[in-house]
Structure 1
Amino acid sequence: MPHVEHTFTAEADKIAFSQKVIYGFGALANNLLGAAIGMMSIVLVTGLKMNPAVVGLLMALPRLTDALTDPLMGFISDHTRSRWGRRKPYIFFGAIFAGLIFALLWQLPSGYSESFYFWYFLLGSILFYLAYTVFATPWVALGYELTPDYHERTRLMGVTNFMGQFAWVGVPWLYAIMQNENLFSDPVEGARSVAIGIGIFVAIIGILPAIYCKERFQSSPEISDQKNDIKESFGEGLKRNVKDFLHGFAITIKFKPFLKLCVATFLVFNGFMLVSAFTSYVIIYYVFGGDQVLGAEYMGWSGTVSAISTFGVIVLVTKLSTRYSKRQLFFFSTGVSIFGFGLKWFCFTPSNPLLLLIPAPFIAFGLGGLFTLMSSMMADVCDLDELNTGERREGMYGSIFWWVVKLGMALALALSGILLNMTGFDIDLAGAQAEKTLFLMRIFDIAIPMVASAIAIWIIVTYDLDEDKANTVRQALEARRNAV
C-alpha cells in the first residue's frame, strides 16, 4: 500500500482517553447483547429440540421490525431537544430496559410444545429489540459526533471496537457454560442463569456513556431551530414530522458514499455471521464426530483466540490509519480474512483438532478492521451530508447503517438453518451424519464469506471520500457555522 501524507490532529479535536473508554463500554454492552442472543439460540435446537430452520426464522423475524423502529429512533434522537441532549436520555433508559428484557427472554419454561416456544420467544424478542434500538441507535449517533477530526474518529472507533471485542472473548464460551453438567441440569436451565447475569451487566455498563460522555450538538442545527418557532396543532405537527422523517429517510438511502459503506459492511459482516452458527455444527459434527461437550470446548477456544487476535488487529489498524488511507486498510484487512477462511478447509480436521485454531487470527482481520474503519468513515459521511442538507443526521445514518447490518444478520441466521437442512443434517443422527452432509457443511462454511468479502472489496474501490475531501468538507462546515 502506498504511503499517504496526513494532517495532524489539533488538541481541541482530541478526545480524552477516559472518554473513549467510557464510550467503548457502550460497544461492550451492544456487542454482548447482539452476540449472546445468536450464540445462545443453539440451546433452542440442542436443548428444546426445535427445528434449525424454525429457530433461524425465529431469529430473523423480530429483526424485520427494525426496518421501521431503527430509522424512527434515529429521527427521534436527531430531533430531540432536552436539557440532557439528543442522545443521552435514550442511551440511559434503553440500556436498562434492554438488559431487563434480555434476562426475561430466556426464562423458558420446560415441557411445552415447539409452537409455544416459538411464540414465547418471538414476542419476547420483539420487545427486546425495541429496547435494544432505543439504546443502540442514539449510542452509535453519539460516537459519530464526538470529534470533527478525520484521524481522531478512527482512534475513537479503534478504542470503541477494542472495548467491544471483550464481548467476543466471553460469548464463545456461553454454550460450554450452559452445557456444563456440573453447573446446570440441562442447557435450558443454563441459559436462564446466564441471561440474568448478562442482563444485569449490560444495564450497569450501558448507562455509562449517557452519564459521562459529552455531546457536541445539543440540538440539530439551523433547520430544527426554525421548526421550533412554528406554532401548530398536534395533527399538523405529526403530519410535518412524518413528512420530515420520510424526506430524511429518502435522502439518506440515496446518498452514494453511504450506500457503498452499507453494502460492503453487509457483505463482510453477514458473510461471517451466516457461517458463525454454521461453524459450530462443523466443529461438533465433523471435527468431533457429534461430541457436543468437546465440540463446545473447542468452539470456546477458537472464539477466544479469534477475539484476542481481533484486539491486536484493532490496534494495528488504528496505528496504520495515520500512514495509510481508510480505504487501503479496508482492502488489507478484508483480504487477510479471505485467506483465513480458505485455511479452514485444511485446518478443520478430525485427525488434529488443534489445527482449527490456526485460521482464527487471520479471520479476525475481517471484523477487526471492518468496524474500526467503517464507523470512522460513517462520521465523515455525516459531515458531507450536513454540507449538502444543513442538518445533522447521525441518528438517521447510524440507524439505517446498523439496520442493514442487522437485517443481514437476521437473513444470515435464517439462511443458516435453511442451509443446514439443505446439507441433509439430522439432529437425531448425532455423530453419524452422512458424508455428503459433512462435505456440504464445510463448503458452505468456507465459500460464502470468501465470496461476500471479495465483492465488498470491489465495491469500496469506488469510494472516494478520502482525507483531503473530508478536510475540505470540515472547513466549509466550520465557515458556515461561524457565519450563522
Structure 2
Amino acid sequence: MTSHHTTAAADRIPVSQKIAYGTGAIVTIVAVNSVVQLTNLVYVVGLGVSAIWIGYAQAFPRLWDAIIDPFLGNMSDNCRSRWGRRIPFLVVGGVLIGIAFWALWTVPRDWSKEGMFGYFLVTSLFFYTVVPIYAIPHGALGMEMTEDYHEKTSLFAYSTVIGNIGALALPWVYYLANRPMFGGDAVNGVKWVCLGLSVMLTGAAMWCAFTCKEGKLHEASQQERVPVLQSFKATYRNRTFLRLVGAFVLLIVAFQLVMGFNNYIQIFFLFGGNTDAASEVMALNGTLWATVGILGAFPMTWLSKRYGKRFTVLLAFALIIGGNLSKIVCYNPAHPYWTTFPTVCLSLGMAFAFSLVNAMIADICDEEELATGIRREGIYFAVYNWWWKVAVSIATIISGYLQRFTGFVEGAKVQSDTTLFQLRAWEIGLPAAICLISVWLLARYPLTEARAYEIKALLKQRKAAATPAGAA
C-alpha cells in the first residue's frame, strides 16, 4: 500500500473513553478465561470429578449462551431507551456477572461427585446466561464509537492492552489459591480469591457503562425495529462476514479441542505431579502471556496502519502456528522455562488477531449499512459469538473424550508415559493443522483500507443527501 488515510479529528475517540472501554473488556476476558482455566484444575484435579462429565457441563451452558446471543444482540439493536441502546445492558450484566462468577467456586465439598457435577452444571448455566447480557452490547458499543478505519483499530488496541493488564491477575489465581493462608487447599483458595475478582469485575463494568458514549444513536433512532430472524438471515448474506467468522471460529476450536492439556503437561510432564512447583511456572507463563499481549498492541497498530488488517491477521496466524510447533522442543522437563518461548509467540499472535477481529466486523457493519441502510452491530457481534460458542461447545465435549483417549486418570498424582506423550502430540499438532485452514480463508479477505474509506465516503454522501436544507 502506497498511501494511507489520516483519521479526522471528528472521528477520534477521547482517550478517557478508550480507557473506559478497555476496562470494560476486562470483565469478559477475566471472567470467561478464569472459568475456562480454573474449571479442570478445581473440579477435575482438585475434586476428582470426571473430565467427561465436566466437558458436558461446560458444553451445554455454552450452547445455551450461543442460542440467546442473537436475541440479545437484536434486542440491543432495537433498544430505544433514554440511556441508549447499549448502556442499560452493561449495567445489569455487570452486576449479574459478579454474582454468577463467585457462585461457580462455592461448591459444597461434602457432596458426592455427582452432586458436585450437578452444582457446576447449574451455576455455569447461570454464569453463561448473564455473560452475554454484558458482552454482546459491549462488543457492539465498540463497533459504533467511530466511523474511521484506523480509529477502530486504535480503540480495540486499547481494549487489548487494558484487558491484558487486567488479565495479569488471572494466572496468579491458582498460585495464590495454593498459598499456606488457605491451608494448602487450592479449591478453598480459589473460592476466596475469586470473591475479590468478582467485586473488581462489577466495578470495571460500571466504569465502562458510565463513561463511554454510544455512536450511531441518531441513525438507529430513525430505523424501524427489525425482527431477530430477519437480522439473523442478513448476516448470512454477507460473504465477507462469513469468511472472517469461519477463520476465527476455526482458530478458537483448534485450541478448545486441547483446552487444559497444557496445564496437565506442565503439572505431570514437566514437574512429575507437583502442583505447587508447576503453579509457579504456570503463573509466570500467564503473566508473560498478558504482558506480551499488552506490548503486542503497539506493533499490531503500526502493522495494521502500514499494511492493512488482513496482512496483520495473516502474520498473527503464522506466529500462532509456529509458536505451537515450537513446543516440540520447548516441552522439556530439564528446562521447564523454555515454555516461555511458545507463550510469547502464541500471545503475540492471539493479541494481533483478536484485537483486529472486532475492528474488522465494524468495517463489515459499515458495508452492511451501505447495502441495506440498517445499522446492526449487535446482531453481527452476536452471530460471530454464536458461531464460535456453538463450535466451542461441541469441541469441549470432544475434548473430554480426547483426554480420556490419552489415558488421563482424573484425580491421580501421576500419569503414564504413554498418556503424557499423547497429551503433547495432540496439544501441539492439532491446533497447527486446523489453523492452516484459517490462513486459506483469510488470504482472499476483500475488505481493504481503500474499500473501507470508499464505503465511508458513500455513507457520508447518502447522509448529506437525506438531510433537509438548513437542518445541519
Question: Given the two structures, how large is their TM-score scaled by the length of structure 1?
Answer: 0.92
Kept after mapping to 2: 8 A contact 1:13/1:152? yes
Residue pair 1:79, 1:220 contacting (<8 A) in 2 also = no
Deviations 1:20-41 (A, max 9, x none): 1111011111101110111120
The answer (yes or no) to whether the contact 2:24–2:205 under 8 Å persists in 1 is: yes
Of 209-218 and 341-350, more deviation after overlay is shown by 209-218
1:481 counterpart = 2:463: yes
Give the superposition deviation at 1:462: 1.6
Kept in 1: contact 2:80–2:221 (CA 8 A): no
In the TM superposition, residue 391 of structure 1 has moved relative to its aligned partner by 0.9
Please give the root-mean-square deviation of Cα atoms over the aligned residues, in Å: 1.7
Q: Partner of 2:4: helix, strand, or coil?
A: coil
Partner residue, 1:249: 232
What are structure 2's unaligned runs of at least 5 residues? 467-472
Task: Write out aligned runs for 1:174-323 (5 A).
Answer: 174-218=173-217, 221=220, 224-225=223-224, 244-323=227-306
Identity of aligned residues (%): 33
**For the residues of structure 1 that align with 2:57 and 2:303, how far apart are their CA atoms?**
41
Q: Deviations over 1:353-401 (max 9, x none)?
A: 1212222111112211111111111100001111111111000001111
Tell me, yes or no, if the aligned pair for 1:278 and 1:416 is still in contact at 8 Å: no
CA contact (8 A) 1:271 1:449 kept: yes
Equivalent positions of 1:80-479 (< 5 A) are 80-218=79-217, 221=220, 224-225=223-224, 244-427=227-410, 429-431=412-414, 433-479=415-461
Residue 448 of structure 1: how far off its partner (Å): 1.6
Given that 1:269 and 1:367 are in contact with CA atoms closer than 8 Å, whether structure 2 keeps it comes out as no
Amino acid across the alignment from 2:294:
F
Contact 1:108 1:188 in 2 (8 A): no
Residue aligned with 2:223, SS: helix
Query: For 2:11, which of 13, 22, 36 is the aligned residue?
Result: 13
Stretch deviating more after TM superposition (86-95 or 216-225): 216-225
Q: Give the Å deviation of 1:61.
A: 1.0
1:30-68 CA distance string (max 9 Å, x none): 101110111120200122110111112111110101232
For the 8 Å contact 1:158–1:372, the answer to whether it is kept is yes
Contact 2:243 2:445 in 1 (8 A): yes
Partner Cα distance (1:399, 1:456) in 2: 21
- Give the deviation of 1:299 after TM superposition: 1.0
Q: Distance in 1 between matches of 2:67 and 2:302?
A: 37
Task: Quote the residue 1:28 is aligned against.
Answer: 26
Paired residue type of 1:80 = C
Counterpart contact for 1:334–1:366, Cα < 8 Å: yes
- SS at 2:177 equivalent: helix
Alpha-carbon offset, residue 89 of structure 1: 0.7
Q: Match for residue 469 of structure 2?
A: none
Counterpart contact for 1:79–1:219, Cα < 8 Å: no
Which whole-Å CA distance do the structure 2 matches of 1:109 and 1:64 have between them?
A: 26
SS in 1 for 2:217: coil
1:313-367 C-alpha deviation (Å, 9 max, x unpaired):
2211112222111101111121022111111110111122121222211111221
For 2:172 and 2:42, how far apart are their aligned partners in 1? 13
| Deviation per residue, 1:406-447 (Å, 9 max, x gap) | 33333343333221111011135422x222211111011111
Q: Is the 8 A contact 1:221 1:390 kept in 2?
A: no
Q: Aligned partners of 1:173, 1:413: CA distance in 2, in Å? A: 24
**1:452–1:366 CA distance, 2 compared to 1 (3 A):** farther
> Which 10-residue stretch deviates more, 402-411 or 299-308?
402-411
Say whether the 8 Å CA contact 1:268–1:366 is kept in structure 2.
no
Return the TM-score normalized by structure 2.
0.95
Cα deviation, residue 166, structure 1: 2.2
State the partner residue of 1:238: none
Query: Take 1:198 and 1:163, find their aligned partners in 2: how far apart are those partners?
Result: 16
Residue of structure 1 equivalent to 2:70: 71
* Closer/same/farther in 2, CA of residues 220 and 422 from structure 1, 3 Å limit: farther
Q: Contact (CA 8 Å) 2:49, 2:410: kept in 1 or not?
A: no
Contact 1:4 1:324 in 2 (8 A): no
> Would the aligned equivalents of 2:55 and 2:399 in 1 still touch at CA under 8 Å?
yes
Separation in structure 2 between the aligned mates of residue 456 and residue 367 of structure 1, nearest angstrom: 13
Give ranges in structure 1 of 5+ residues lacking alignment: 228-240
Kept in 1: contact 2:94–2:134 (CA 8 A): yes
SS of the residue 1:170 aligns to: coil
Please tell me whether the aligned partners of residues 63 and 407 of structure 1 are also in contact (alpha carbons under 8 angstroms): yes
Q: Identify which range, 101-110 or 197-206, moves more after superposition.
A: 101-110
AA aligned opposite 1:69: I
1:221 counterpart SS class: helix
Distance 1:50 1:223, change over 3 A: same
The residue matched to 1:71 in structure 2 has which SS?
helix
Shift of residue 289, structure 1, vs aligned partner: 1.2
Give, as a single letter, the amino acid of the residue that structure 1 aligns with 2:29.
Answer: N
